Amino acid sequence: MTLTPDRTRDTTTLRIGDALASLMPHGLPFRFTAYDGSETGPEDCPIRLHLATERGLAYLLTAPGDLGMARAYVAGDLELHGAHPGDPYPAMVFLLNNLRFRRPRPAEAVRLLRGLGISNLLPPPPPPQEHLPRWRRTVEGLRHSRSRDAAVIQHHYDVSNAFYEMVLGPSMTYTCALYPHEAATLEEAQTAKYDLVCQKLGLRPGQRLLDVGCGWGGMVRHAVREYGVRAIGVTLSAAQASWAQEAIAAEGLEGAEIRHADYRSVTESGFDAVSSIGLTEHIGVRNYPAYFGFLRERLRPGGRLLNHCITRPTNQATATGAFIDRYVFPDGELTGSGRIVTEVEDAGLEVRHHENIREHYARTLAGWCQNLVDNWDEAVAEVGIGTARVWGLYMASSRLAFERNEIQLHHVLAVRTDERGGADFPLRPDWRG
């Protein structure tokens, strides 16, 4: 039996706009309207929020913070006007710079909740785009077990290849690009990123490359086509693997292989290089020793590892926020670049170069948001309005986080030395970028 709230017994005695205004010590900076007819905030503000339904109010009250806001917005109960849903970045900047809540005293909070209706404290079912909470995922399988990793990767990456083509563009590359100059396009920047990774790895014709978490095969295809290597890519996403295999066949690339598999299933060793581009975020900090140890064992002496991943400005291990965890990267976990370097070194690899390119990720996300805006109607037709809203919100908020140094993007280049300490490494870096 499913219990649903009986909202007919509970009458609201406090207007929603008045309740919101009471929590703003300096006044509401944007225009707010609600389904109960209340309104507050400057009438001429271009940024406007409309709370359209009682369900939206229940979302906000039962999950205060980014999760409740996201639920109401994704479900269409909280409407944003003044910014495109494919790129709500301008509205988010405005709200972040101007919105200042005060925390109500306990007695005041009780009065506000009573005035808004006690029935609104019964959580409505979340939107279908939301993944299971962490405790439910634990019931489904141990965190970062092969089965649970496969489930969360499927949640994020098996959305729709057609949708990803609209957002990512022709490169089908879902990782930070590298902008070689101010006027570079997104596609030019993705090519420059792959070139930089190949050069840092010192790739030469005939060498063997392993790309873990290969996505749609962009690194594999670029390295084989432009550097003459033989490459194996592995991904847990069936949709990614299928797309990449078709792209390799269409290009007629000899020596390029994409596997739909867990990276831990790779048994080959003696690779000249390993690239890990955007996978470490999914591994879990406690699993770093095993992860980097596994990658070291795949390398020959003198072989190089390039680890490209999102990091925090500090070295504490932290889970992603509630919105990101439920809607975008379930089980994602970030830490600082210092922890990455430490774990790489403790695994027996020598770190030779380390850099932060976070500003490039902010630009990359701006490019993806523009692609979503340009293809909005087609994207909504492909995946639905709720999922399209999730992506606009996620990419715009991530852009803000990179710009404000709340998250970073680090390259850590390391080598497996031989038994005498030889690293087969140039006296000075010989790559461009």
pLDDT in tens, 67-81: 999 999 999 999 999
pLDDT at position 307 is 98
Asked whether the beta carbons of 263 and 233 are under 8 A apart, the reply is: no
pLDDT at residue 145 greater than cutoff 60: no
- For the segment 168-175, the average pLDDT, to the nearest whole number, is 97
Contacts with 366 (C-beta within 8 Å, 6 or more apart), sequence order: 87, 89, 399
Residue-range domains of the chain with CATH: 10-121 (no CATH), 147-415 (3.40.50.150)
- For the segment 57-75, the average pLDDT, to the nearest whole number, is 92
- For the segment 418-433, the average pLDDT, to the nearest whole number, is 91
Amino acid identity of residue 412, one-letter, is: V
pLDDT at residue 151 greater than cutoff 60: no
Asked whether the beta carbons of 348 and 339 are under 8 A apart, the reply is: no
* pTM of structure: 0.90
pLDDT at position 235 is 96
* Alpha helix (H) residue ranges in 201-253: 218-227, 238-251
Residues 82-124: pLDDT tens digits? Answer: 999 999 999 999 998 888 777 888 888 888 888 998 788 889 9
- For the segment 168-180, the average pLDDT, to the nearest whole number, is 97
pLDDT at position 301 is 97
* Alpha helix (H) residue ranges in 169-273: 186-200, 218-227, 238-251
Q: Report d(CA 324, CA 395) in Å as an integer.
A: 10
- For the segment 230-250, the average pLDDT, to the nearest whole number, is 96
Beta strands in 213-317 (DSSP E): 230-235, 256-260, 271-277, 299-311
pLDDT at position 7 is 46
Asked whether the beta carbons of 46 and 62 are under 8 A apart, the reply is: no
Q: Report d(CA 381, CA 392) in Å as an integer.
A: 15
Closest residue by Cα to residue 220 from 192, 244, 187, 251: 244
pLDDT at position 412 is 98
